[in-house]
């Protein structure tokens, strides 16, 4: 129990350092064990510019295991997860290096539109509202939305309406926040980091957390006393996809080619299993 609490505390301290002043932090991407390269046929000015500078810059929000999180390996911080592996595969397929910029989730689209990053890979859902602002690759993963609550309260919520009057935590800028505000109004509370939402839940400052299913399972593994509520009628997700600045059609096409190749070879599924195992091991330390 103490080890798990300590693990969350360490993650939160790292998150505070990365996000405390609203500063964007840069770090090299996780070193892959071996390059995963998919042949890309797309060409165009955006790809040419990326190849000329020798790197592709990826925006993410590293508090979303197993998709992306900050791992303390070999005495240093590293960004790891399914999305980081996907970013590295895209970079390898274009013959360039990957640079990761870590920031609050709600700032990712703005950073992409401003040209601060070339792509966003952050468990981002390709919903209709976001498609008006940016373009998306084909989806690389699709899951459900779930409620996380204290183990002692899990039987209280049989339907979404059972949450009426309760305080529900969501991450700022997510589809979960959008749905939560529409459904629960002022009782939906937004936070920068998923880690903070879990701490608020543990401290009983909120009654439930609305999260994507895959990271929700990982947070339940990390923290004792939490449970995922079964199917209570939440809307389905639109699917995780890579976001690209509007008009950069050549890059969008290239990324979609990489995504398709990785899905066809079941590499995405392999990464999901691998990083679930890794995040579970880290939680047990």
Distance CA 165, CA 186 (A): 10
Helix axes 194-202, 2-19, angle to 10 degrees: 140
DSSP 82: H
Give which of 188, 113, 91 is closest to 147, Cα–Cα: 188
**Fold for domain 2-141+239-284?**
D-Maltodextrin-Binding Protein; domain 2 (3.40.190)
DSSP 141: B
> pLDDT per residue over 174-230, tens digit each?
999 999 999 999 999 999 988 899 999 999 999 999 998 888 988 898 788 999 997
pLDDT of residue 144: 87
pLDDT of residue 117: 98
> pLDDT per residue over 75-117, tens digit each?
788 999 999 999 999 999 999 999 999 999 999 999 999 999 9
Which residues, other chains included, contact 194 with Cβ-Cβ below 8 Å and sequence gap of 6+?
63, 64, 171, 211, 215, 219
Yes or no: domain 145-229 corresponds to CATH 3.40.605.10: no
pLDDT of residue 285: 65
Task: Catalogue the E-assigned strands of 23-84.
Answer: 25-28, 55-60, 63-64, 68-73, 76-80
Helices and strands counted in the chain (H then E): 10, 14
pLDDT of residue 118: 98
- 252 versus 284: the higher-pLDDT residue is 252
Model confidence at 3: pLDDT above 70: no
**Cα Rg for the chain, rounded, in angstroms?**
18
Domain ranges of the chain: 2-141+239-284, 145-229
Model confidence at 18: pLDDT above 80: no
- Alpha carbon distance, N-terminus to C-terminus of the chain: 10
Residues 70, 85: contact at Cβ < 8 Å?
no
Mean pLDDT (whole number) for 17-38? 49
In the block, tokens 């079964």 appear at 230
Residues 206, 106: contact at Cβ < 8 Å?
no
> Residue 98: helix, strand or coil by DSSP?
strand
> pLDDT per residue over 42-72, tens digit each?
999 999 999 999 999 999 999 999 999 999 8
pLDDT of residue 16: 34
pLDDT of residue 257: 98
Read off the tokens for 229: 């509520």
Residues 132, 153: contact at Cβ < 8 Å?
no
pLDDT of residue 34: 58
What separation in angstroms does the CA of 171 have from each of 8, 44, 177, 227? 17, 36, 6, 18
Read off the tokens for 193: 């980091």
Residues 16, 192: contact at Cβ < 8 Å?
no
Mean pLDDT (whole number) for 125-149? 94
């Amino acid at each position: 129990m103490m080890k798990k609490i300590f693990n969350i505390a360490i993650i939160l301290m790292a998150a505070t350092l990365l996000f405390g002043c609203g500063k964007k932090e840069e770090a090299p991407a996780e070193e892959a064990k071996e390059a995963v390269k998919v042949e890309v046929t797309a060409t165009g000015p955006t790809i040419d510019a990326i190849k000329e500078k020798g790197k592709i810059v990826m925006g993410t929000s590293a508090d979303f295991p197993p998709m992306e999180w900050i791992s303390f390996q070999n005495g240093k911080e590293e960004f790891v997860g399914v999305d980081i592996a996907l970013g590295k595969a895209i970079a390898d397929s274009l013959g360039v290096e990957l640079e990761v910029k870590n920031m609050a989730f709600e700032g990712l689209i703005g950073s992409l539109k401003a040209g601060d990053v070339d792509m966003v890979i952050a468990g981002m859902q390709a919903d209709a509202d976001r498609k008006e602002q940016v373009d998306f690759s084909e989806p690389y993963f699709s899951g459900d939305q779930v409620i996380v609550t204290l183990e002692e309260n899990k039987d209280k919520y049989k339907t979404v309406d059972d949450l009426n009057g309760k305080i529900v935590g969501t991450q700022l800028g997510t589809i979960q926040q959008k749905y939560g505000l529409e459904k629960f109004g002022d009782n939906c509370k937004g936070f920068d980091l998923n880690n903070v939402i879990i701490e608020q839940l543990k401290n009983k400052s909120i009654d439930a957390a609305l999260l994507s299913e895959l990271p929700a399972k990982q947070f339940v593994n990390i923290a004792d006393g939490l449970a995922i509520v079964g199917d209570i009628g939440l809307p389905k997700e639109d699917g995780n996809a890579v976001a690209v600045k509007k008009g950069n059609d050549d890059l969008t096409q290239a990324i979609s080619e990489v995504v398709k190749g990785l899905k066809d070879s079941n590499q995405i599924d392999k990464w999901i299993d691998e990083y679930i195992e890794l995040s579970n091991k880290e939680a047990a330390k």
